[in-house]
Amino acid sequence: MCIDLSVEVAKCKGARYRLGPELEICGYGCSDHYFESDTLLHSFQALAKLLESPVTQGIICDVGMPVMHRNVRYNCRVIFLNKKILLIRPKMALANTGNYREMRWFTPWNRSRQVEDYFLPRMIQEITNQESVPFGDAVLATLDTCIGSEICEELWTPNSPHIEMGIDGVEIFTNSSASHHVLRKAHMRVDLVNSAMTKNGGIYILANQKGCDGDRLYYDGCAMICMNGATVAQGLQFSLDDVEVLVATLDLEDVRSYRAEISSRNLAASKVIPYCRIKVNFALSLSDDISTPTSEPIQWRYHSPEEEISLGPACWLWDYLRRSKQGGFLLPLSGGVDSSATACIVYSMCLHVCSAVWNGNQGVLSDVRKIVNDEAYAPKDPREFCRRILTTCYMASENSSQDTYDRAKSLAEEIG
């Protein structure tokens, strides 16, 4: 399971809190399968395996899954530590515009700062020895800091939860997202996170889905960590890695001193309605961390619009190809712009795949070998790989000419 692997990598890098993307246990793109009880059941079965796994011990794990509470289905974060569930935090603002249809499957949690008892399924009770756990809008109070959760759309709303949480003393904000690729959308994500922490101070951690989740959308990663308005860690936007783990070492005193200088924030804090705090006997810092160097601010590296147009659809094609277990693509070329652009995207995919293999990505190499049905194959040249997986033919019409035929033939030869 990719979740297990990400936790293992995070622990190896010294992390004490692991955050994953939205609805990562079942996958964001389940659509009407969310209506099926089996989706909820299998999500809890996967959660049970994670709770029992030796890998998840000694680190706070924050995973996403659907949960039904009092016969209402919620999009939730389940936060656990050492076989104990600390909090189930339901999503409060659902995405329901454009390509999003969350209101069809889920209900938002509208009870701000309120917590109820959630009675666990017996399979989970047997592992955690807990009959019930907190369910609702609460924050975690560890031995050294306070952590609050946002889920995807909540960052984009006018009255985001991080505003009131930050005024109430929450120092670390987590955001688990399923934000799909749109041209230049990365700029908006980064600006939203950095501006939020510039105004209020704090550390913001964002994890986003990656790849094709079984539908028409491509989720482009771009995980990030920000402190006091400055980015300190940036994830890749068009990576073919199944698992990418981003870590940063930060000093909480930098957050406290930054906030102490914002008098307007401190005045607001004196009259804020407090959040319910779930006490956690665990610290994100260690006694010997004082000698550990902290992460420095970095300049975010954006792709050009042309690169996004080339890489986004190419990554979607690759995920669709490997998950469908097909042997390649058939594309009729007419010599026109539509079919030519599609052929170029396939070739861009081949370039991206070959680059990943050359950089030692064994997962991509394994997928390549399955697609070409050759266990010894390793792509040496993108044109040769394109020749193996893309078959073209000339599709003439009454509007075709010798020029369109020549253009189709020339393009086919150039890409392999």
Can you tell me the distance from the alpha carbon of 38 to that of 27, in angstroms, rounded to the nearest whole number? Answer: 14
Q: Determine the pLDDT at residue 206.
A: 98
**140: Cα separation from own chain's centroid:** 21
- Which of the residues 8, 43, 91, 212 is marked catalytic? 91
Could you tell me what percent of the chain has a pLDDT over 70? Answer: 100
Task: Give ∠ CA 233-187-313 in degrees, rounded to 5.
Answer: 95
49 is catalytic: no
- pLDDT for 97: 93
Q: What is the pLDDT of residues 147-204, one digit of tens each?
A: 999 999 999 999 999 999 999 999 999 999 999 999 999 999 999 999 999 999 999 9
73 or 413: which leads in pLDDT:
73
In this prediction, residue 1 has a pLDDT band, given cuts at 50, 70 and 90, of: low
Q: Which amino acid is at 289?
A: D
- Is residue 291 predicted with pLDDT exceeding 90? no
Q: How far is CA 275 from the centre of its chain?
A: 26
In sequence order, what are the residues at sequence separation of 6 or more whose Cβ sits closer than 8 angstroms to the Cβ of residue 5? 242, 243
Residue-wise over 263-289: b if at least 16 C-beta within 10 A, else e? eebeebeeeeeebeebebebebbeeee
The torsion angles phi and psi of 263, rounded to 5 degrees, stand at -65, -35
Query: Could you tell me if 43 and 37 are in contact, meaning their C-beta atoms sit under 8 angstroms apart?
Result: no
Q: In what order do the strands lie in the sheet with 60-69?
A: 17-19, 60-69, 72-81, 84-90, 132-136, 115-119
Average pLDDT of span 243-257? 96
The candidate with the shortest Cα–Cα distance to 63, out of 89, 40, 98, 102, is 89
Per-residue model confidence as pLDDT tens digits over 9-59: 999 999 999 999 999 999 999 999 999 999 999 999 999 999 999 999 999
pLDDT at 174 (0 to 100): 98
Q: What is the pLDDT of residue 46?
A: 97
Q: Of 22, 150, 153, 171, which one is the catalytic site residue? A: 22
Give 81-106 pLDDT, tens digit per residue: 999 999 999 999 999 999 999 999 99
Mark whether 152 is an active-site residue.
Answer: yes
Average pLDDT over residues 333-338: 88
Residues 398 and 32: their CA atoms lie apart, in Å, by 43
pLDDT of residue 288: 82
Dist CA 216 CA 239 (whole Å): 18
Q: What is the mean predicted confidence (pLDDT) over 249-269?
A: 94
Any long-range contacts for 77-80 (C-beta under 8 Å, 24+ apart)?
A: 77/149, 77/151, 77/176, 78/47, 79/140, 79/149, 80/50, 80/51, 80/56, 80/128
Q: What is the crossing angle of helices 305-324 and 337-358, to 10°? A: 80
Report the predicted TM-score, pTM, of the whole model to 2 decimal places. 0.94
Q: Is the pLDDT of residue 302 over 80?
A: yes
The dihedral region occupied by 327, where left means phi > 0, alpha psi between -120 and 50, and beta the remainder, is alpha
334 is catalytic: yes
Q: Average pLDDT, whole number, for the chain?
A: 95
Q: Which of 176, 177, 334, 340 is catalytic?
A: 334
* Residue 130 tokens, joined: 């807990």
Distance CA 34, CA 208 (A): 20
Residue 22 appears among annotated catalytic residues: yes
Q: Are strands 72-81 and 203-208 parallel, antiparallel or unpaired?
A: unpaired
pLDDT tens digits for range 114-153: 999 999 999 999 999 999 999 999 999 999 999 999 999 9
- CB atoms under 10 Å from CB of 95, counted, come to 23
Name the residue among 146, 149, 147 with its Cα closest to residue 136: 149
Mean pLDDT on 334-350: 93
**Of 76, 152, 212, 315, which residue is the catalytic one?**
152
